[in-house]
Amino acid sequence: MKILVVEDEKKVAGFIKRGLEEDNYEVTVTHDGAEGFKQALENDFSLVVLDVMLPKMDGLTVIKELRAAGKRTPVLMLTARDTTDDIVSGLEAGSDDYLTKPFAFAELLARVRALLRRGEQDRGAEISFADLRLDPVTHKVWRSDKEIDLTAKEYGLLEYLMRNPNTVLSRAMIAEHVWDYAFDSFTNIIDVYVNYLRKKVDKDHPVKLIHTVRGQGYILREA
């Protein structure tokens, strides 16, 4: 599999490249955002490892432009910023996962494998619940036949809820399945994303589908 690493710190980029190549990935490295965007747009990579703070074009702009151009290549963002707002900003821009520096290579490799594994999975047929429909192939979602525009993480969260209707899903379960990792520190991130999803899925409808079960988690159910 081909992986693009966009990282301006050459020692960090070299460290990532060597580690991934030892795990039998084919790795291309660029050191600025503009070149990284060009490479990601023009080539078929299985994954992009993308730093946020980059010369010429920052990582958030790179991923926004890639998504606007229709590129759905999985993106793992790297950054020294670790506040809730920073993490949400990265995920809202369209990244699929977020890893803060400094990091152990074993953790980066686990995230890479999880993203690649997710990309290879056959998502199957369309899923429906009440008047909500989700197409796992195109990643499109409709409620009452009106299309809903979701970010990558909002979509992942909704898909998990729709694959487990009428079941209470704890924050730990959501973190593990939507982020492919046991993120204890992601509790508030999950709450933020559930609120985002509610505004898009439930706001204009009398029947609410996404509910909080106090002290336990969240559930997709009618009324």
The pLDDT score that the predictor gives to residue 180 is 63
Residues 132 and 154 in one domain: yes
Residues 25 and 103 in one domain: yes
The pLDDT score that the predictor gives to residue 151 is 86
Q: Which residues of the chain have pLDDT under 50?
A: 122
The pLDDT score that the predictor gives to residue 183 is 54
Residues 17 and 107 in one domain: yes
Whether the full predicted model's pTM is greater than 0.75, yes or no, is no
Kindly provide the residue ranges of all beta strands, DSSP E only, lying in the chain, ordered along the sequence. Answer: 2-6, 26-30, 47-51, 75-79, 97-100, 127-129, 132-135, 140-143, 146-148, 210-213, 217-220
Residues 80 and 49 in one domain: yes
The pLDDT score that the predictor gives to residue 3 is 96
The pLDDT score that the predictor gives to residue 31 is 96
> Distance between CA atoms of 116 and 132, rounded to whole angstroms?
28
The pLDDT score that the predictor gives to residue 122 is 43
The pLDDT score that the predictor gives to residue 28 is 96
pLDDT in tens, 161-209: 998 999 999 988 888 888 765 555 556 888 889 999 999 999 989 999 9
Residues 6 and 91 in one domain: yes
The string of DSSP letters for 200-215 reads HHTTT-SS--EEEETT
Q: How many CB atoms lie within 10 A of CB 111?
A: 23
**By three-state DSSP, how is residue 36 classified?**
helix
